Structure 1
Amino acid sequence: MDDLPKDIQIGPFLKSRVKELSGLAYVVSSDLKHGKLASQQVPRHMRRRAVSHDVRRLPRRLRDKYLKEKNQGGGNVPASKRPSRRHRRRPGNLLKEYNRRQMKKFWLETHIWHAKRFHILEKWGYKIPGYPNDKGWRACYRGSKSSALVFDVSYLNLIQVQGKSDVLGSTLNSLTQNKTGKTFDASSAGKEETALVFTASGKVIGEVTYFWVSHSQVEHDKKEDNSTIWIFVHPAFIQQIMAELKLAFKVLDTEFMNASEDSNEPLLKKLKLDPETSDEAKTKVLNPPSLLSECSEINEKSLNMEKSVNMKKNVNLEKMSTRNIPANRAPSYHGLEGTTITDFQGTVNRFRLVGPKSAEILRSVCVPADVESSELVSEKKDLTWWRDHYSSDKNKVNFKSETESFKSGNNANIALTVRDPRLLLPIKKCPAIKSPSSSPTKTSIMTSKPASLEAEAASKTIATDPKVPEPGGVPTITQNLWLESPFFSASIRDAVTLSKCSDAEINKHRSNLLIPGSRLTLGVDESRVPVLILKQDTGYDLLVPAGWGMSFWQCLVFNGCRAGGDKELQQHTIEQGKPPLLHRYPDALAGQQELENIAKSTKAHHFALPPNKRVNFAKLGIASPFQPPWTVLVKDWRTDNSLQPSQLPEAVHVLRDEDVLKRLRVGDVKGLEVLLDHLVAVKLRIEGKGKLGENTIICIPSPQDLEVLEGPTERIQEDSMEKERKETRENHQLTKKRLKRQWKKLKDKEVLLKTQSSALGKPLDQERLNLIASNRNIVKQIREQKNAEFSARNEELWIGDFNTVRNSCKREIFGFITAANMSYTIGGYLGFGFVSLRGLLKWKEISNSKSLVLTRETSSTQYRFSSLTIL
């Protein structure tokens, strides 16, 4: 008791308890539940959404307050809610949503099928399948080795160029360089080749594939000097190549010139239609009267089908409304001496089949149609385009020749007219067709058996080599067969697309069969579809008109094809011993963007890890861990002393002269002084243990390394920024704590101001309250700014700046790998990259017969031996 004070200081005691007393007074004040709505002052178990509609759901003491709050909020405002699922799932609304979602990114026709089974990627203005959800590359590799693997490469843009043969040949070849060996040669019609396109200044753009639909130099029976070439362009190159084509052919008109130069955009975006525009307004723009007058009677009937009262909505026509269908919607440019350039984006689907069973599966899917004239007349006259086309004896003879060539297993490119693939679907999904065990006799592929039995019969009766033969020579198909194919007629392709009957109609006919699972025969009412089958190195490419992509795709899958995505396509290219397409051109704009995108994703993944889980690249001697620094590498090798400063080159150049590369392979290095600043494309194969990955460094081995054939180990280097990084982190932590205290102090002032006003019954000082709130927001913004600055600075301190890479480790670096992965074909890791020509010449001086170099991953200290081959 002696420790207790003799008196109590009331003033200091109340001052220290003012916050508690203010809070207590705030709670017990007459105006209960401050800061809460009337509907929130009911116990939680009694709260109902129905209060917003009926105020009698509240106690009487809260009704007046609720009505006051409701009037202040605007009264009875109807709540905006999302339409019900039943409304959204109506067929018409699904079609509108299907087209609306394609405003920004172009969809493939198989997008819905892939979206259920694949990870979808957004690349080059498209939504493309990335990789399957179920299995990885191992399952796809089995498919490509023993059966068939199919890819949807319909994102390849089709550009048609028409004009005089000499004008086309000279102008197109002006975009190429003879020394690369890839030009627009006047080869046989139908033979697909590769060309390398350059800008007018000599900078590489990228690689395209092409074939001459017709060429007057090889058609002596044509009086007109008119040729047509089809060019398939990867969407990463399309903008630059279209610009160079317009410049080379001196485009005169301005049609579609004011539209977006990005031809990856759908038609609605090209015509500058606002996504908010009504469907009626879009229909007027997309279906102008001028187009209807120019189209054939078939197209006009199909376009007006929706407006007819007695006919149902044409689902296929609705899906094609955002594409260049009919063909006169496609952007067309007129240039030099009557030359016409047409962008047929989205009008042709292209499927790539690889594997030994590709030919057999194609014979099951692409069954030649019956095009003989019949006395029967179909009620659907728009389906009988083939009756007029094959009314001439010449076209009949051509069709029979194509059919015989296709049945005989000829590996030439073939233009064919086939049956509706929906009528040939097997009863259930079947595995790939097995190879025949004996030598059977040939029989007709056109049979009345069901599709599944027909595929089985084909496997037993058609004698074909299960392995795809090596390509070579000119296809045996004659020029007239190729030229007269209906596939190259835009009006016929439009007729085939717009007259396609719906899947519902096919299913209705199938449900009416007396014997379930039997063959469905529509006779003259069946669609006849023109297709192209192009021979490739490891398989075939199937080209079908727009609107038929999903029908053929489903039939291919049901007949045993395994589907792959973009990741599997790149891996398949590596298995072939070639780098992926965009990794071949680090000196092109598309190649640089691809490397930057990979570096961005890799960097984001690296810094998403906690600091103790990250690789310390500074200690491993990796100057640029995410992207190959080509300009710094070339600068380093300009002089023997890499530390001597020199100006960075303005651009990167890759050596593509075939003659020079042949000399390099045999060791002839004379006369290369002018090309010493170039990069050389190489292929590397790991020897023994180890891995190859993206951005793996390529080093020159020492003579001692070659003698012992054991890769050295990189020493752990000093991290010069470790101390600064630690100090920066500590300072940032102190700054964060200081700002957090300031924010908390301002927050307490704001609460205290409100509680004192309530406890003492004084009016709230709104001006001071606003000042405190403003200061609190400023402190919060400063804290967020400091966090962002620290994050950026921290990345710099982990990576650091560099001006040399050649001597950053124990062995001299003279190149980097851009693409690599495990190759099941060779049973080891395979990589592709580029090396400095100066470094390559130095390496050749000490290299042995095995052509070994040292490679090291960015996360390892162990050097491994790899064999190097010049591509």
Structure 2
Amino acid sequence: MAVNASKPRVSEVPPHELNVRKFVESRASELEGLHSVVAKRLNNDFRSQREKRKRTTGHDDRVARKKFRKKRRVESGHPSSKDCLAKLEKKVSRSKRRSIEFKKNPETRFCTSGDGTKRLRTHIWHAKRFSMTKLWGFYMPLGLHGRGRGSRALLKKLRSGVLIHDASYYGTVQLEGPQDKLLLVLSSVMVPSPSKHDGENFDENLSGNIFGSAVLHHTGKPSSPPIAPVTYMWRPCQRITTKEVHNVDMIDELRRNSAGTAFRQLWLCIHAAALTEACEALTYACMDLTGGSARCISLEGQLGKVELIGSKASELLEKMLLPACCVPERLWYLKKCNADDNSDPGKLENAPVSINIQISSSSVIQLTVKDPRALTKKKQSIVHEGNSCNLFCYEEVETKTPTNSSFQKLESGSVVDYSDLWDVCEGICPPMEESVACMEKYNQLNEYIGLGIKKFGNQNALKSKCSRYCPILLLKHENPADHVTRCSIILPLSWVKVFWNALILNGAHAIGLREKHWIACEIGLPYFPWDYPDCSAYSYIMEMDVTATNQKMTQCPSSQWPLEIPIPPPWDCVKLNFVKSLSEVDKSLNHIRQHGPNDDLRGNLVRNAICKLSETTSIPFEGFMARTSCRLNNFLNTISANRLLLFPRMKDQNISMHKFMNDDELLEHNADVSEMNRGETQCFLRVRLRAYKRGVFEQGAMVCAPNAVDIMSWTRSDCDDHQLQIPQSSLESYFVQLPSGKWELQIPENPSTRDSYRHPIGFITTGFVRGRQVPSKPMAGAHCEASLISRLRLEQWKMLPVRRRRKEIYVLVRNMRSTAYRLALATVVLEQQEEDVKFM
């Protein structure tokens, strides 16, 4: 068939409306033929066959018809019409009422239940998939349903995917006032405090380019129990104006004082378990130290936080976040897609903009990004010229990405003129409702194919209260592991659900509190409050564990009750005068070297050493946790024990661990380490443990001091596994609970039992992650007494030849309900890094 090329080709466009009647009339013959075929096969019996009917009563509407007739009689003037009508009107069920409530998305505050328990904006999403628990005033996602397993699949997703966690339960506190006053407050309540001696880090932190981490204390009490670890960040000076200062008297004072410092704002992100206590401490510090020139404002219920963890977190952020405008003073930077450095400036300005996540750790970036529901597969927002309401449409429509200059024009009709998350106190418009966004997409698709637009309520009234752009803060945390990237998105609370759904649909895997604890153990970070036993939040979480354990015991017969163990661990059983008894072990080691490892001689010598230990008495726990190298060094100087073999990593310290490890003369010189006097303050250090050969370390397990015989027996090349156990009979009497509820350590009196007794020097706060199968061995987190673990290192270095000495320290670990000891290697965290204040 010949085709006339000169004739212009006319595109056939679908009609605007379809006439169904004309369509049926044109196809009447075909429909009649089809009907005759079906009638012939069914023998003209079009009734539904009884055996193929659904076995339900959904087709029976007699009850509904009866109720309708009764209502008609009531409305027609029945004598008892009011009473009958009141009975017929049923109350809306609780599930429907809650569903209607959760579908609302107010600008601020959490939804609460009858008892005041708050719910996250993602509560419905989590409640359908996770086990929920009431914790810290919230309904929290504990973890996936089941027995608390699934760590192997989780760690696989950590290495090859993205994990997401809704951390909106974290509260934000804002400090505002003169810069020197705020620095005075921070130096009084934070350890480590921001200091000019930090050099470049202090300047970067003060300018708002990076954020810092510290442990919050009460005013002027750095040696008192801490409140919680916090993350703090400064607002950049370039973005502060006098309009944003809430206190008018402060503005007048700053103007009168020509030498006064600039007005600054500071945010502190605090865990919900310690938010109330932290707010009280900060408020008191502002009033006591500054006389009211600095203020503390709680932003609880206004900001949300979403955390992303995994190897592909950066890729997901680059895919999801399309900035509309940004702050150029940040370390984060923008790149222009499909444009080189020599391109025309005019063309470069209109090129699509995306985020490059190749940035340094602890960086902060302030952005205003587009609604993630408006992004296409090509990561472009669909915006027609002159019409800001056509954001939600499909790829086929011609696209135009607004630049910074056109951003204000597009937003002038529907959004207030803000572009900074720091102005959240003044109010930020919530996102467009999901139903309205879906209806816009539906209308634009119909308009494209020519089927007309469907009207849906008063959309103009809804759009006037909503925004299509969201201000956010992006934080990139330090990566303790090479394969893990950690980022946090701080955004308005009303936008959390929008970003959550978008991230989940693009491949992020949601996790709860249990899974987050596993990840913290995997990458070597402390997890609040489980790894902060000196905080009041730790006592609260332990009380909940005791309640849960007692509840499980009441649900089974007394004959099946498990062994009762102390929860939390009895930290006061770690005694400082245990150092005195280690000298007896040193003497036994010399005898073993001279006479050989004879079993009878070894048993007698060790028994004598243990008898010396049994004479010690209990000392109450009055210690503290050293989380910075400066704090540990000050403690060593205070007790005149600077020759203890602990090597805190400090910038101005020249002492080398290898120097002591390889020099026997230095070890002999340090053999006269000053012994601790009874009643001295105990200093605990966080250590990481890995099993020497085999073993699973649980939370709450004891870390004990091994004898020289234990180490020699376990580390022999011809020994598969040395078995050291306590008798089963002494397991129940190892810890005895007093009438006051306090647990006391019982030192055995039987000589045969003393041989297997090993004194505790600390406890495990985070156990192994079960079920993991990776080449590296699992790690556990524990806290051990500093002087005891230093003395152990000295004894072990003197015992072993130079080529077999390690930086790690040999310790024994025994689970509370187990009789077997396992050999482990302990690494002091403060010897690997200067500070141990980073947390998850």
TM range (shorter): 0.5 to 0.7
Number of the residue aligned with 2:422: 488
Partner secondary structure for residue 724 of structure 2: coil
Code of the residue aligned with 1:532 in structure 2: it is L
Q: Does structure 2 retain, via aligned residues, the 8 Å contact 1:364–1:451?
A: no
CA distance in 2, matches of 1:795, 1:79: 59
CA distance in 1, matches of 2:727, 2:141: 42
CA distance in 1, matches of 2:765, 2:128: 31
Correspondence list, 1:191-206, <5 A? 191-199=210-218, 200-201=220-221, 202-203=223-224, 204-206=226-228
Q: Is 2:778 the partner of 1:829?
A: yes
Q: CA deviation at 1:212?
A: 0.8
Code of the residue aligned with 1:148 in structure 2: it is V
Code of the residue aligned with 1:714 in structure 2: it is Q
Partner secondary structure for residue 584 of structure 1: coil
Q: Is 2:146 the partner of 1:146?
A: no
Number of the residue aligned with 1:14: none
Give the direction of change, closer, same or farther, for the CA distance of 1:714–1:425 in structure 2 (3 Å limit). farther
Number of the residue aligned with 2:304: 349
Code of the residue aligned with 2:703 in structure 1: it is I
Of 628, 634, 646 in structure 2, the residue corresponding to residue 664 of structure 1 is: 646
Number of the residue aligned with 1:104: 116
Number of the residue aligned with 1:560: 507
Number of the residue aligned with 1:10: none
Q: Does structure 1 retain, via aligned residues, the 8 Å contact 2:231–2:270?
A: yes
CA distance in 1, matches of 2:102, 2:183: 47
Give the direction of change, closer, same or farther, for the CA distance of 1:571–1:547 in structure 2 (3 Å limit). same
CA distance in 1, matches of 2:447, 2:822: 62
Number of the residue aligned with 2:229: 207
Number of the residue aligned with 2:724: 713
CA distance in 1, matches of 2:534, 2:217: 11
CA distance in 1, matches of 2:175, 2:513: 28
Give the direction of change, closer, same or farther, for the CA distance of 1:867–1:491 in structure 2 (3 Å limit). closer
Correspondence list, 1:374-385, <5 A? none
Q: Is 2:271 the partner of 1:234?
A: yes
Q: CA deviation at 1:210?
A: 0.6
Q: Deviations over 1:419-450 (max 9, x none)?
A: 11222377xxxxxxxxxxxxxxxx98668999
Of 107-116 and 408-417, deviating more is 408-417
Q: Is 2:430 the partner of 1:422?
A: no
CA distance in 2, matches of 1:146, 1:501: 33
Number of the residue aligned with 1:572: 519
Backbone CA RMSD of aligned residues: 4.9
Number of the residue aligned with 1:861: 819
Q: Does structure 1 retain, via aligned residues, the 8 Å contact 2:699–2:767?
A: yes
Partner secondary structure for residue 646 of structure 2: helix
Of 570-579 and 829-838, deviating more is 829-838
Greater percentage in helix: 1
Of 508, 530, 533 in structure 1, the residue corresponding to residue 471 of structure 2 is: 530
Number of the residue aligned with 1:802: 744
Give the direction of change, closer, same or farther, for the CA distance of 1:80–1:124 in structure 2 (3 Å limit). farther
Q: CA deviation at 1:180?
A: 11
Q: Is 2:355 the partner of 1:406?
A: yes
Q: CA deviation at 1:636?
A: 6.7
Q: CA deviation at 1:866?
A: 1.0
Number of the residue aligned with 2:456: none
Number of the residue aligned with 2:137: 125
Q: Is 2:618 the partner of 1:655?
A: no
Q: Does structure 1 retain, via aligned residues, the 8 Å contact 2:304–2:492?
A: yes
Number of the residue aligned with 1:305: none
Aligned residues: 563
Q: Does structure 2 retain, via aligned residues, the 8 Å contact 1:179–1:656?
A: no
CA distance in 1, matches of 2:624, 2:94: 59
Give the direction of change, closer, same or farther, for the CA distance of 1:127–1:340 in structure 2 (3 Å limit). same
Number of the residue aligned with 1:694: 699
CA distance in 1, matches of 2:325, 2:684: 56
Partner secondary structure for residue 540 of structure 2: helix
CA distance in 1, matches of 2:93, 2:682: 63
CA distance in 2, matches of 1:401, 1:844: 64
Q: CA deviation at 1:355?
A: 1.4
Q: CA deviation at 1:626?
A: 3.5
Q: Does structure 1 retain, via aligned residues, the 8 Å contact 2:215–2:229?
A: yes
Code of the residue aligned with 1:208 in structure 2: it is V
CA distance in 2, matches of 1:198, 1:89: 43
Q: Does structure 1 retain, via aligned residues, the 8 Å contact 2:234–2:265?
A: yes
Q: Does structure 1 retain, via aligned residues, the 8 Å contact 2:161–2:312?
A: yes
Q: Does structure 2 retain, via aligned residues, the 8 Å contact 1:351–1:542?
A: yes
CA distance in 2, matches of 1:563, 1:138: 15
Give the direction of change, closer, same or farther, for the CA distance of 1:590–1:649 in structure 2 (3 Å limit). same
Q: CA deviation at 1:91?
A: 7.5
Give the direction of change, closer, same or farther, for the CA distance of 1:400–1:633 in structure 2 (3 Å limit). farther
Q: Does structure 1 retain, via aligned residues, the 8 Å contact 2:192–2:214?
A: no
Give the gaps of 5 or more residues in structure 1. 1-75, 253-334, 372-395, 427-442, 455-483, 618-623, 723-793
Number of the residue aligned with 1:511: 442
Partner secondary structure for residue 406 of structure 1: strand
Q: Does structure 2 retain, via aligned residues, the 8 Å contact 1:534–1:541?
A: yes
Q: Does structure 1 retain, via aligned residues, the 8 Å contact 2:214–2:229?
A: yes
Give the direction of change, closer, same or farther, for the CA distance of 1:170–1:509 in structure 2 (3 Å limit). same
CA distance in 1, matches of 2:791, 2:99: 68
Q: CA deviation at 1:536?
A: 1.4
Q: CA deviation at 1:132?
A: 2.1
Number of the residue aligned with 1:15: none
Number of the residue aligned with 1:47: none
Q: CA deviation at 1:227?
A: 0.9
Give the direction of change, closer, same or farther, for the CA distance of 1:249–1:870 in structure 2 (3 Å limit). same
CA distance in 1, matches of 2:240, 2:580: 54
Of 670-679 and 410-419, deviating more is 670-679
CA distance in 1, matches of 2:437, 2:558: 60
Correspondence list, 1:497-508, <5 A? 497=430, 500-508=431-439
Of 661-670 and 107-116, deviating more is 661-670
Number of the residue aligned with 2:285: 248
Partner secondary structure for residue 701 of structure 1: coil
Code of the residue aligned with 2:819 in structure 1: it is T
Partner secondary structure for residue 767 of structure 2: strand
Q: Does structure 1 retain, via aligned residues, the 8 Å contact 2:234–2:266?
A: yes
Q: Deviations over 1:680-734 (max 9, x none)?
A: 2211111222101012121222222222314333142546999xxxxxxxxxxxx
Q: CA deviation at 1:126?
A: 1.4
Q: CA deviation at 1:226?
A: 0.7
Taking structure 2 as the reference length, the TM-score comes to 0.58
Give the direction of change, closer, same or farther, for the CA distance of 1:336–1:610 in structure 2 (3 Å limit). same
Q: CA deviation at 1:543?
A: 1.6
Of 678-687 and 156-165, deviating more is 678-687
Give the direction of change, closer, same or farther, for the CA distance of 1:512–1:540 in structure 2 (3 Å limit). same
Q: Does structure 1 retain, via aligned residues, the 8 Å contact 2:208–2:364?
A: no
Give the direction of change, closer, same or farther, for the CA distance of 1:94–1:244 in structure 2 (3 Å limit). closer
Give the direction of change, closer, same or farther, for the CA distance of 1:815–1:826 in structure 2 (3 Å limit). farther
Partner secondary structure for residue 625 of structure 2: coil
Q: Does structure 2 retain, via aligned residues, the 8 Å contact 1:171–1:249?
A: yes
Q: Does structure 1 retain, via aligned residues, the 8 Å contact 2:542–2:567?
A: no
Q: Does structure 2 retain, via aligned residues, the 8 Å contact 1:169–1:185?
A: no
Give the direction of change, closer, same or farther, for the CA distance of 1:545–1:692 in structure 2 (3 Å limit). same
Q: Deviations over 1:306-336 (max 9, x none)?
A: xxxxxxxxxxxxxxxxxxxxxxxxxxxxx73
Q: Does structure 2 retain, via aligned residues, the 8 Å contact 1:636–1:804?
A: no
Give the direction of change, closer, same or farther, for the CA distance of 1:222–1:146 in structure 2 (3 Å limit). farther
Q: Does structure 1 retain, via aligned residues, the 8 Å contact 2:323–2:368?
A: yes
Give the gaps of 5 or more residues in structure 2. 1-83, 242-257, 327-344, 385-390, 396-417, 454-459, 479-484, 582-611, 634-644, 648-656, 661-666, 715-720, 749-753, 830-840
Q: Does structure 2 retain, via aligned residues, the 8 Å contact 1:421–1:555?
A: yes
